[in-house]
A and B are shown apart, each in its own frame.
Chain A
Amino acid sequence: MLEIAAFWTFAIILVGAGLAVVIGKNLFHSVLWLALALVATAGIFLTLDAEFIAAVQVLLYAGGVVTVVVFAIVVTERLVGERLSHTSRHLAAGVLVSGGLLVLLVRAIARAQVSLPRPALSGDLTRQIGTSLLTQFALPFELLAVLLVVGLLGASYFARPED
Chain B
Amino acid sequence: MGLQAYLTLAAVVFCLGLFGTVTRRNTVGILLGIELMLNAVNINLVAFSRFRGVDTGMVFTLFAICITVAEIALGLSIVILLFRSRRTATADHIDWLKG
Contacts and interface: CB of A to CB of B under 8 A. Distances in A.
Interface of A: 3-4, 7, 11, 14-15, 18-19, 21-22, 27, 30-31, 34, 37-38, 41, 44-45, 47-50, 52-53, 56-57, 60-61, 64-65, 68-69, 72-73, 75-76, 79-80, 84-91, 93-95, 97-99, 101-102, 105-106, 109-110, 114-116, 118-119, 122, 125, 128-129, 132-133, 136-137, 140, 144, 147-148, 150-152, 154-156, 158-159, 162
Contact of A105 (B15, B63, B67): B15
Interface of B: 1-9, 11-20, 22-26, 28-29, 31-33, 35-36, 39, 42-43, 46-47, 49-53, 55-56, 58-59, 61-63, 65-74, 76-81, 83-84, 87, 89-90, 92
Contact of A162 (B8, B20, B84): B84
B57 to A, nearest CB: 9
A133 B50 CA distance: 17
A98 to B, nearest CB: 4
A50 B58 contact: yes
Q: Is the interface of A mostly helix, strand, loop or mixed?
A: helix
Q: Is the interface of B mostly helix, strand, loop or mixed?
A: helix
B29 A116 contact: no
Contacts of A47: 1
Contacts of A11: 5, 9
A72 to B, nearest CB: 4
Contacts of A14: 9, 13
B46 A151 contact: no
Given A79-B83, A94-B22, A158-B77, A85 B53 contact: no
A43 to B, nearest CB: 11
B59 A118 contact: no
Given A72-B79, A85-B25, A162-B84, A148 B15 contact: no
Given A22-B24, A76-B79, A31 B32 contact: yes
Nearest to B87: A80
